[in-house]
Every structure is written in C-alpha cells, then in structure tokens.
Amino acid sequence: MALTKKGEFWYGTTSGDTQAELRSYSVANRHEAVRFAASKCDCGCRSFALQTDEEAGVAIRTCTDCGRQHLMGDNAEYVEEAVPEAHECVCENEVFELMSGVSVYEGTHDVRWYYIACRCVECNLVGVFADWKCEAGDAAAFLAKV
Ligand SMILES: [Zn+2]
Ligand SMILES: [Zn+2]
C-alpha cells in the first residue's frame, strides 16, 4: 500500500492508505487522530453515499447496497438544524469507502476532533471530506457508531 499524488490529489488503494491520509491531515490540523474506524453497514456493505454539515457536526451515510441511512456517531441532537450536503468526487462519482478518525483530549479517551476520510471507489482518490470539533465522550463508543 502507498499513497501516490496526481496533481493536487492523493490516491490510494486500501483502507490503510485512507487512514494514512487522515492522519497526515489531522497532524496539519494540530489535533492528531489517534483512533480510527472504517464504516460498515449492518448488511456488510462498505460503500456509501455521504452527506455532511460541518457547521452542525452531522454526517449521514447511505448504504449503496441496502439503502439504509445511518447517522455517523449517532449525533442525533444536532440533526434537526442540519443542512447536509452530498459529497461528490472530482471524478463525479458519489460512492465512497469511509474511514473515521478522532483526536482525544490529552490523558483521556474523550473525543476532541472528528475527521471523515473517503476513498472513491471509482478513481481511488483519498481525502478528508469533513472534520469538526466534536465533544462526543468516549472514543471507542463513538467509533463503534460510525
Ligand atoms: Zn447496507
Ligand atoms: Zn473519484
């Protein structure tokens, strides 16, 4: 596995590549992601359409197989005011594998910043599509719901 750069974009082939890109983005953001989890639908599928509202701190993934919608991290308290927008790759595809990462408050397991990285299933572009300050409590419990 290795990330390769074409123009201004990075491309990878595995979830490890997506995780590596997420980490380097988070380091540049000065809240280094230390825990990660890949999204998987209850039906077993790993490719999704993604809608986010960074302002409201809301992300919704829709399974491309069974159509089930899931609120990532289950942050239901903010969803009413949210205006989630769909993400599209530079290749115009809208189907992605999703990798979540969080930074935590020093000396705790409490989530401080949330990142969502995507890998396009068509062209293999990888990138962080959304991130926000997120005080969601226990990182393991949060990442179990992405
Ligand atoms: Zn599904
Ligand atoms: Zn693409």
Please give the pLDDT value at position 78: 80
Residue 100 is encoded by which pair of tokens?
Answer: 């979540």
The answer to whether residue 94 scores a pLDDT higher than 90 is yes
Please give the pLDDT value at position 12: 96
Tell how far the Cα of 87 is from the centroid of ligand 2, in angstroms.
11
Cβ neighbors of 29 (< 8 A, separation 6 or more) are 113, 115, 131
pLDDT digits (tens, 9 = 90+) for 60-69: 999 999 999 9
The answer to whether residue 1 scores a pLDDT higher than 80 is no
The mean pLDDT value of the chain amounts to 95
Tell me which residues have their CB within 5 A of the ion that is ligand 2: 89, 91, 93, 120, 122-123, 125
Residues 41, 98 contacting (CB under 8 angstroms): no
Ligand nearest to the CA of 123: 2
The answer to whether residue 52 scores a pLDDT higher than 70 is yes
Q: Which residues of 78-115 are buried (b: 16+ CB within 10 A; e: fewer)?
A: ebeebebeebebeeeebebbbbbbbbbeeeeeebbbbb
Extents of the domains making up the chain: 8-143
Tell how far the Cα of 33 is from the centroid of ligand 1, in angstroms.
27
Tell how far the Cα of 53 is from the centroid of ligand 1, in angstroms.
22
Cβ neighbors of 60 (< 8 A, separation 6 or more) are 50, 51, 52, 69, 70, 71, 72, 84
Q: Locate the DSSP E strands across 14-67.
A: 35-38, 48-53, 58-63
The answer to whether residue 114 scores a pLDDT higher than 70 is yes
Tell how far the Cα of 53 is from the centroid of ligand 2, in angstroms.
21
pLDDT digits (tens, 9 = 90+) for 121-143: 999 999 999 999 999 999 999 99
DSSP state of 138: B
Ligand nearest to the CA of 66: 1
Q: Which residue, among 19, 69, 80, 6, has the nearest Cα to 41 in the 3D structure?
A: 69
Please give the pLDDT value at position 77: 76
Tell how far the Cα of 48 is from the centroid of ligand 1, in angstroms.
9
